[in-house]
Amino acid sequence: MAAQRGQRNGVGGDTPPAPTAAEVTTPIPRVAEVPAARERARAIPEAAVARLAVYLRVLSAMQEQGAGTVSSEELATAAGVNSAKLRKDLSYIGSYGTRGVGYEVAVLIEEIERILGLTRKHSVAVVGIGNLGHALANYGGFPGRGFPVSALFDVDPDLVGVPVGGLPVDHIDDISRVCAEREVSIGVIATPPPAAQTVCDRLVEAGVQCILNFAPVVLQVPDHVEVRKVDLAVELQVLSFHVARRADDAAATNGQQVNGMVVS
């Protein structure tokens, strides 16, 4: 169990569980370890980064509608957050607003794109061209946003060579070569759960440092690889929890319950 770590995704923060190896160097309470250099704007909370992406989308929509400036209040409402949080989020990337006026839409778009690293294109590889893989490959929303899908992989010989969304499927065994050739920086795993870890290892071996995982599996990756997961079953179960909570609440306020079980 050399390098194992929880995925960064989902709700709530996920601070590094502990030093991966060399448990405790000295029993001194950890002070500021970073040498204060290279400490730039690195302190953006992950939650804020995710919201910046949302702001960016809203701003793009506003720009298409011809808006020149926005106030934090407007933008916040459109993005579904309160204005204080929005301003704090924007303050992480700098001061690009004009007091008494608001923000220039174009400027804000540019700065957020810069922070998110969207000035560079990020080639995406999809592994596992089944139900979900097909949907992803056919989806037009990624290339348009700077994430061209430039490689597809599957193990099924019937699929290899077949074009999906205009791009022919490569065999999984060629993953290293193809990823290198096409400078893939993000790998998307859409294989069945049992294959996910193997595919992940291959992606890492191929030099891919960012992975988006759709398989309901906890992936083990080295520290330098970033994993985010999308787990639809978890999403549904969280919703289910809220249904149950609601039902309980209703029962409790009506006094209609026996030993914790709702009586209909």
Partner DNA sequence: CTGACTTTGTGCACGCGTTCACAAGCGGTA
Partner DNA sequence: TACCGCTTGTGAACGCGTGCACAAAGTCAG
Provide the minimum distance between the beta carbon of 22 and DNA in the complex, in angstroms, as a whole number.
14
> Does residue 218 interact with a second copy by CB under 8 A?
yes
Q: Does 213 belong to an annotated binding site? A: no
Q: Which of 156, 173, 181, 235 binds ligand NAD (CB under 6 A)?
A: 156
Tell me if 160 sits within 8 A of 135, measured CB to CB: no
Among 150, 154, 164, 184, binds ligand NAD (CB under 6 A): 154
- Within 10 A of 169 (CB to CB), how many other CB atoms are there? 21
How far is it, in rounded angstroms, from Cα 122 to Cα 145?
10
Site for ligand NAD in 71-130 (CB under 6 A): 127-130
Rounded to 10°, the helix 83-91/72-79 angle is: 110
Compute the half-sphere exposure of residue 244: CA atoms within 13 Å on the CB side of its CA: 8
Answer yes or no: is 133 a known binding residue: yes
Query: Contact between 230 and a second copy (CB under 8 A)?
Result: yes
- Separation of alpha carbons 75 and 87, rounded Å: 10
131 is in an annotated binding site: yes
Site for a second copy in 147-206 (CB under 8 A): 147, 185-186
- Taking CB under 8 A as the criterion, the residue among 253, 258, 259, 263 binding a second copy is 253
Q: How far is the CB of 171 from ligand NAD (least distance, A)?
A: 9
Give me the helix-helix angle, 46-64 and 72-79, nearest 10°.
100
**Rule CB under 6 A: is residue 236 a binding residue for ligand NAD?**
no
Contact criterion met (CB below 8 Å) for 75 and 86: yes
Which member of 19, 162, 226, 256 binds a second copy (CB under 8 A)? 226
User: Which amino acid appears at position 218 of this protein?
Assistant: V
Tell me the angle at which helices 46-64 and 105-116 cross, rounded to the nearest 10 degrees. 140
| Out of 54, 67, 155, 195, the residue judged to bind a second copy by CB under 8 A | 54
Neighbours of 157 (CB within 10 A): 8
Cβ at position 173, least distance to a second copy in Å: 25
- Select from 2, 17, 25, 36 the one that contacts a second copy (CB under 8 A): 17
Closest to a second copy by CB, 6 vs 163, is 6
Q: How many chain residues interact with DNA (CB under 7 A)?
A: 35
Question: Measured from the CB of residue 169, what is the shortest distance to ligand NAD in angstroms?
Answer: 9
Q: β-strand 184-189 against 123-127: which pairing, if any?
A: parallel
d(C-alpha 55, C-alpha 49), whole Å: 10
Query: Which residues ranging from 61 to 80 are in contact with a second copy (CB under 8 A)?
Result: 77-80
Residue 203 annotated as part of some ligand binding site: no
Q: Is 207 annotated as a binding residue?
A: no
227 neighbors 235 (Cβ within 8 angstroms): no
Contact flag: residue 239 with ligand NAD (CB under 6 A): no
What are the residues whose beta carbons fall under 8 Å from the beta carbon of 178, sequence distance 6 or more?
125, 151, 153, 170, 184
Which positions touch ligand NAD (CB under 6 A)? 127-133, 135-136, 139, 141, 153-156, 172, 190-193, 195, 198-199, 214-216, 232
Known binding residues for NAD(+) are 128-133
